[in-house]
Chain A
């Protein structure tokens, strides 16, 4: 059985706004019956203010699909269409106190239904921009279609490449066999053959390790550079990271946005640490700022 949060259960057992809204003037229908979930979102939008006055859902799907639909209608009621469009699937998942990785697509379905409904109201055509495949990497919720596209687009050749470009396989590593199978397939279609011994593509932003020991100022600057280079990836997932303090070889960081409280935060932190060590060429630990010892004063610091 899935480990659903109490919030998910609450919305599943007592769904809010179930059923179609009478006199709805915006309807969004998304999902795929073959995948076992489908959602129709009906909205009553005030034509003068574009405020969503009422929202209702009809969902064919599992517990988390119904909970995601329910919580979505609660979030968007009272928002204007433009405000509602800013709601991400991360917002939906966060409102439910998180979803298991296999179930994140339920929150994606909610966001898509909303986009489809708004497009319907505005007389536009909404097109789904992603196709979903079998879930490969459970740590980072990356599916086969995504991996295959990245392998094609970037001419990836090794599992390490795939991890660098998609994060897939960067956690528990159990899916490496499946990633190899995708590589084998795509490389064959490309007329090459998969070689597990092949060197990975150019290591992303690897700089030569400095030979001289770094001063603390240099170290902080370098750490900032590395965090900046990682930021787009984190922000794509609705999260962010900020450097709080560097004491000796320990960097204290704050994980914010979707990273905050995310089950994967620990894994992300160890990924950041790995990258820092590669670039700085020295051992460094990354620790959440919440675990930082009480700030030391400069005197204590120098005399210690």
Chain B
């Protein structure tokens, strides 16, 4: 059976070069970087090197703008909670309806505490309305937080432009860029982005390491106070091996940036095209002209995502779904709902996300099995009749408590 991993937006395989870079920091150089003895010798230097490797990938002006954290979620929480603590008179936050739960659940909670949350809607292609955004900006807004690229559809938001608008209005701007960093080039020093979140495991570094980029001069309040680590901005003994690993992963990401945007993109495009051509009643979600090169999210109408995943898994293929059943909730993905994808399609969305470790033969394998999977599940579906959907599916089948 093949072993095909197409769930790289969920997490990635740690590059062996990254593992090699990390190993000595578990064994030989295990010292605390704050210590003054030979076991710590070189550890602080290694962290400094990693900091500059991250700096280079995102085009930050200073290496001191890189703060190592434990994950993307910690970076997101630190950014937003810092902004509201530093500006106690500003009681509004602007974000979007399609953010990651790391942002959405945090602002939902702040709403309970009395903050006003503006959630920018998206259109059917997952795009934001910048006019509506401009009207939300005011001196009451503590921070804008908009993801750089959406994790489900790969749709890229115009964060550079939005940060400019925020800056003109005197409002801080944060972006959750965990899906974008390493996949698309960026030069933060030329933007007005104040804070940016990175997650190591999305770019072939290990889990449990993240970064908060904090533009020099941005008013800041730490989430974790304690020791002097990260210049007092994120206390807690450094996760040295993972920091070194993330640095190496950033270096590799720069080397593979072109490959990601040509070869990886070609695999994605071929998969997408092959599926659309061979399977009726499916469509690609998101903004097709403005997407991450590695991501495609395809809605298979009249069948359910978890069932598709189980059959893919049986065929040795790993992907993910926006269906309700995979998360144990009753609603399908909030991203699909925000784009007003009908329920009969939203529950059947499958995300295939590639990395540089995939090959064209992976694509062939998916194209070989996917038509049968869709056809077999449609045979079971009450919304499907022979060779096509029942006429007017939402009306033809009206179960008792729909």
Contacts and interface: CB of A to CB of B under 8 A. Distances in A.
Given A13-B314, A39-B382, A58-B380, A32 B307 contact: no
B399 A66 contact: no
A128 B325 contact: no
A61 B304 contact: yes
Interface stretch (A129-137, A156-164, A226-234): A129-137
A255 interface: no
Nearest to A126: B400
Contacts of A103: 325
A116 B343 CA distance: 23
Contacts of B310: 9, 12-13, 63
A30 B399 contact: yes
B307 A61 contact: yes
A267 to B, nearest CB: 19
B397 interface: yes
B379 interface: yes
Contacts of B307: 12, 61-63, 65-66
Contact of A38 (B324, B326, B331, B382): B382
B329 A62 contact: no
Contact of B402 (A19, A32, A62): A32
A18 B377 CA distance: 10
A59 B343 contact: no
* Most chain A Cβ neighbours within 10 Å, of B306, B311, B381: B306
B402 A38 contact: yes
Given A12-B310, A29-B397, A34 B380 contact: no
B331 A34 contact: yes
Nearest to A59: B380
Interface string A38-59: 1110000000000000000111
Interface string B323-336: 11110111110000
B347 interface: yes
Contacts of A37: 304, 325
A102 B328 contact: yes
Contact of A60 (B304, B314, B398, B400): B304
A35 B324 contact: yes
Interface string A110-127: 001000100000000011
Nearest to A131: B401
Contacts of A59: 380-382
A36 interface: yes
Interface residues of B, number: 34
A271 interface: no
A140 B125 CA distance: 40
Given A36-B304, A37-B304, A66-B307, A60 B383 contact: yes
A60 B382 contact: yes
B302 interface: yes
Contact of B399 (A38, A127, A135): A38
A171 interface: no
B303 A60 contact: yes
A78 interface: no
Interface in B320-359: 323-326, 328-332, 343-344, 347
B400 A29 contact: yes
Contact of B302 (A32, A60, A126): A60
B364 interface: no
A152 to B, nearest CB: 21
A15 interface: yes
Nearest to B311: A13
Given A62-B325, A128-B400, A36 B332 contact: yes
Given A33-B394, A34-B331, A62-B306, A18 B323 contact: no
B277 to A, nearest CB: 25
A242 B398 CA distance: 44
A36 B402 contact: no
A169 interface: no
A238 to B, nearest CB: 22
Contacts of A61: 304, 307, 325
A98 interface: no
Interface string A61-103: 1111110000000000000000000000000000000000011
Given A59-B381, A66-B307, A31 B330 contact: no
A119 to B, nearest CB: 10
A40 B382 contact: yes
A62 B401 CA distance: 18
A116 B382 contact: no
Contacts of B314: 13
B189 to A, nearest CB: 41
Given A29-B400, A62-B306, A36 B324 contact: yes
A35 B402 CA distance: 9
A127 B399 CA distance: 11
A216 B110 CA distance: 56
B382 A58 contact: yes
Contact of B401 (A1, A15, A128): A128
A57 B310 CA distance: 20
B333 to A, nearest CB: 11
B107 to A, nearest CB: 16
Nearest to B383: A60
A31 B382 CA distance: 11
Contacts of A60: 302-304, 344, 347, 381-383
A29 B382 contact: yes
Nearest to A128: B401
A196 to B, nearest CB: 15
Contacts of A34: 330-331, 343, 402
Contacts of A57: 380
Nearest to A181: B112
* Most chain A Cβ neighbours within 10 Å, of B326, B347, B380: B380
B382 A32 contact: no
Contacts of A62: 304-307, 323, 325-326
Interface of A: 1, 9, 12-13, 15, 18-19, 29-40, 57-66, 102-103, 112, 116, 126-128, 131-135
11 contacts: A13-B310, A13-B311, A29-B397, A36-B324, A39-B399, A59-B382, A61-B304, A62-B306, A62-B326, A65-B307, A133-B330
Of all A-B residue pairs in the complex, the 8 with the closest CB atoms, nearest first, are A62-B325, A62-B306, A102-B328, A58-B382, A36-B324, A36-B347, A40-B382, A29-B399
